[in-house]
Chain A
């Protein structure tokens, strides 16, 4: 698999605080990578480091295969666009002038494509209205348009839906999906609004206390979150034999546990297992959402 971004034991220390602690993550090409963690987990710090705003105090990272210690990293950064925390805008300028400034920053001759960009983010009719008079959602979309100048193939968005109204959230979500599907842009999106992230992400990285707790694809997560019955027995070999006979889909978790993905008659299952000399110790229904999966990863309130 090709990766746009790879970090290797990345560390970032501030005086007496370790913001990133041996963080290792991999962002696959063409993915929408949901970067999940609570406030203060290190999401924004990681984004600042990979954007070159801050220098790591340990470890390294690769952007398109170029290490951060390599001088060519600046060149690779031109392939990325980012909105870190709040959109970086010239508030006294119009949307068009903001994009022109970014074109100049990138050294793009002429201003071709500005109209399309404004149309793409739904700001084509803002005329002479200055960015300081924009709503939060409009600023966010303008920030994304600025990040999209120069046709980047990697977009980094830090909490892009924070503070937006429901319509704004839908607009940003559709825009991200469109960019990923139509323009094949890899997106790294950090958020703690899990429900929203679950509608977008193809891959997830769960971060807690500055380190990645788990990296998982949306498909794997879906499987992990599937509605099932978790059965605890003393012999999973016997359970496996019985479930095969019943033609039921299941996954053996460990020597005592298995997840069964079907509604089965518990009495029948117990009797069949008894015939095999296997005892049912516990049965519980499991219906995990992304939220509960996340909490199980980072330890929920206990972890505060």
Chain B
């Protein structure tokens, strides 16, 4: 598997989109931090859980990674799978004697590493801007680290892994468009999450998908407790890995 991870990493580093996405993540970090300070109550939906105060306003911006990073992670998955399926490089791997299990997990690991790099770019920027430019000192390091770990696992589950499984099911074609549309639909749960008190189904969806907890996750004060989000993310990762691997081991590759 290490051979394939090596191949994937080199492919990623040769791809200009990887660097572009990193820059976008940094840009989004600056934008969200500065935006929250400069326009604190801009376009906030009525009845949402969001209560912005001068004490917590910059604490929200780290968890906005759950909006930005899944797009970045999915785009990377799509770019890599497009090369593998549409340009046929996946054939070279199979003919070279690699098993499908190795191929699935090497893709997952590389793509998760890419998502982590985007995540890091975003978070470091957000926290740097908050602390250095706006003098914000409300971060509780331990709480932030726990929240970020859960956020990252959520991104792996709903961004990287979900896109990888969808991409493998599609085996080529317009992977990029489909995975980005799926991410967009997932982001709608952000809005659902704001109104989750009104409807049981929306409440359930909002508890599963991370975007709905965006406004509270940075503080670790999620309604069901952050441990629950952590467990849900892990369970999603295990289920998606199982489904994805089962399909990938049986599927025909052209």
Q: Interface of A with B (CB < 8 Å)?
A: 14, 48, 51-55, 74-78, 80-82, 84-93, 97, 100-102, 104-107, 146-147, 150
CB–CB B254/A53 < 8 A: yes
With a cutoff of 8 Å between Cβ atoms, the chain B residues found around residue A102 in the complex are 92, 96
- A55 near B252: Cβ-Cβ < 8 Å: yes
The interface residues of chain A lying within 8 Å CB-to-CB of B83 are 90-91
B140 interface hit (Cβ, 8 Å): no
Given known pairs A55-B252, A75-B97, A77-B96, the reply for A84 and B91 (CB within 8 Å) is yes
CB-CB under 8 A from A86, the residues of chain B are 88
Q: A48-B253, A90-B83 are in contact. Are A105 and B88 (CB under 8 A)?
A: no
Check if B95 sits within 8 Å of A80, measured CB to CB.
yes
In the complex, the answer to whether B7 meets A105 with C-beta atoms within 8 Å is yes
A90 touches B254 (CB 8 A): no
B252 touching A53 by the CB < 8 A rule? Answer: yes
The answer to whether A105 touches B91 (Cβ under 8 A) is: no
Q: Which residues of the other chain, B, contact A81 by a CB distance below 8 angstroms?
A: 95
Q: For the complex, what is the distance from the CA of A81 to the CA of B91, rounded to whole Å?
A: 10
Which residues of B are found within 8 Å of A48, using beta-carbon distances? Answer: 252-254
Q: Chain A residues near B16: list those with CB within 8 A.
A: 92
A53, A78, A97: the one contacting B96 at CB < 8 Å is A78
Query: Which residues on A sit within 8 Å (CB–CB) of B95?
Result: 51-53, 77, 80-82, 147
Instruction: Specify the main secondary structure of chain B where it touches its partner.
Output: helix
A-contact bits for B216-254, CB 8 A (1 contact / 0 none): 000000000000000000000000000000000010111
Residues of B within 8 A of A (CB): 3-4, 6-7, 10-11, 14-16, 83, 87-99, 250, 252-254
- The CA of A54 and the CA of B95, in the complex, are separated in Å by 11
Q: In the complex where A92-B15, A97-B14, A101-B7 touch, is A106 in contact with B96 (Cβ < 8 A)?
A: yes
A53 and B11: CB pair below 8 A?
A: no
- Complex contacts, B98 vs chain A, CB 8 Å: 74, 105
| Given A77-B96, A88-B91, A89-B89: A104 in contact with B252 (beta carbons within 8 A) | no
Give, as a whole number of angstroms, the nearest-CB distance from B179 to chain A: 20
Interchain CB contact under 8 A, B253 and A105: no
Q: Known A-B contacts: A101-B10, A150-B96. Give 19 more (CB < 8 A).
A: A51-B94, A51-B95, A52-B94, A53-B95, A77-B94, A80-B95, A82-B91, A84-B88, A85-B254, A88-B91, A90-B14, A101-B89, A102-B92, A104-B6, A105-B4, A105-B7, A105-B92, A105-B96, A147-B95
Most interface-central of B83, B91, B98, B250 (chain A CB within 10 A):
B91
Q: How far is the CA of A88 from the CA of B96 in the complex (A)?
A: 13
Complex interface: chain B residues within 8 A of A87 (CB): 88
- Closest Cβ of chain B to A93, distance in Å, is 6
Given the known interface contacts A92-B14, A105-B4, the answer about A74 and B87 at a Cβ–Cβ threshold of 8 Å is no
Which residue on B lies nearest to A152, using beta carbons?
B95
Residues of A within 8 A of B7 (CB): 101, 104-105
Q: How far is the CA of A93 from the CA of B95 in the complex (A)?
A: 21
B contact residues around A85 at 8 Å (CB): 88, 254
Query: What residues of A have a CB within 8 angstroms of the CB of B92 in the complex?
Result: 88, 102, 105, 146
Give Cα A76–Cα B253 distance, bound, in whole angstroms.
20
Residue of B nearest to A77 (CB): B97
Closest chain A residue, CB of each to CB of B16: A92
Question: Interface centre among B11, B88, B94, B95, by most A CB within 10 Å?
Answer: B95
User: Mind listing 9 A-B residue pairs with CB under 8 Å?
Assistant: A14-B252, A52-B95, A75-B97, A76-B97, A77-B95, A85-B88, A105-B4, A105-B98, A147-B95
